[in-house]
Chains A and B, each alone.
Chain A
Amino acid sequence: SQQGEEDPQALSIQEGENATMNCSYKTSINNLQWYRQNSGRGLVHLILIRSNEREKHSGRLRVTLDTSKKSSSLLITASRAADTASYFCATDWDSGYALNFGKGTSLLVTP
C-alpha cells in the first residue's frame, strides 16, 4: 500500500509563480525523495533529503522535511511551462531499498 500522500492532487499556476506541493507519510523513514513523471511514463529523480536534514536546495527546488509531523514539502520557484508534470514523494520501503510512493501532485504551468 502507498504510504505517502501528496497534497494538493492537482495544481495549476502561471509561469513565473512558485509551486508548493506537500507530502505526508505514516511510518519512520531513513530518507524521503521527490520524483517527477512526464506523460505517465518513466520517473526522474529530483532530490533526496535524509531524516536528519530539515531543508535542502537544488537549483529552483527547495525541499523541507519535518519528521515530527511526518511531512515534507517541495517548492519549485519561478516555474516554467516545462515544469508541467506529476510529482511524487517516495519513502523507503521496509527493506530499506525499494520505494513507497504517494499518489502524486499533477502540476500544470501555463505560459
Chain B
Amino acid sequence: GAGVSQTPSNKVTEKGKYVELRCDPISGHTALYWYRQSLGQGPEFLIYFQGTGAADDSGLPNDRFFAVRPEGSVSTLKIQRTERGDSAVYLCASSLWGEETQYFGPGTRLLVL
C-alpha cells in the first residue's frame, strides 16, 4: 500500500505570500501530525488531528499557521503572510488510533525568499 504522500515536494515563495501544503495519509490512519524541521534540527511538533478535529495545536508558532482536515483524511497546512523564518521542511505523519509508531511522508521543503 501507499505510504504518506506530501505535495508539493518543494515550494519557493516570496515573503508575504500565502502557501498551502498538502498531506495524504495512509488509508485508514485516523491520526495525522504536522512537524516542521529546520536545518540541523530535529522535527518540531506543530499540530495533531484525530479524525477531522485538531486534538492538539499547541505547537503552531503563531496565528499565521492553520491546518484543516475536513473529511478526516487529507490535511492541508496553511501559512499566511510567509516570513523567511518559515523556511523549513514540513513533515506530515500518520498513525492508527492509539498506535505510537508514526509513519512519515517525504516532506515539503519550503523556501521563503
- CB contacts (< 8 Å) of B40 on chain A: these are 103
Kindly identify which residue among A30, A88, A95 contacts B48, using a CB–CB cutoff of 8 Å.
A95
Q: Which residue of B lies closest to A95 (CB)?
A: B56
Q: A33 and B100: CB pair below 8 A?
A: yes
The number of residue pairs between A and B whose CB atoms lie closer than 8 Å in the complex comes to 74
Q: Which residue of A lies closest to B39 (CB)?
A: A40
Tell me which residues from 49 to 96 in chain A have a Cβ below 8 Å from any Cβ of chain B.
88, 90, 92-95
Q: B104 and A42: CB pair below 8 A?
A: yes
User: Is B31 part of the contact surface with A, judged by Cβ < 8 Å?
Assistant: yes
Q: B43 and A33: CB pair below 8 A?
A: no
**Per-position contact with B for A15-52: 1 when CB-CB < 8 Å, else 0?**
00000000000000011010100001111110010000
B interface, how many residues as a size bin? Answer: 20 to 34
Q: B55 and A97: CB pair below 8 A?
A: yes
Kindly identify which residue among B33, B44, B91, B104 contacts A44, using a CB–CB cutoff of 8 Å.
B104
Report if A42-B102 is in contact (Cβ < 8 Å); known contacts: A93-B56, A97-B56: no
Report if A94-B44 is in contact (Cβ < 8 Å); known contacts: A42-B91, A45-B102: no
How many Å lie between the Cα of A48 and that of B58 in the bound state? 24
Q: Which residue of B lies closest to A103 (CB)?
A: B42
Q: A43 and B104: CB pair below 8 A?
A: yes
Q: List 11 A-B contacts (CB under 8 A).
A: A33-B101, A40-B107, A41-B107, A42-B104, A45-B102, A95-B55, A98-B45, A99-B43, A101-B35, A101-B43, A103-B41
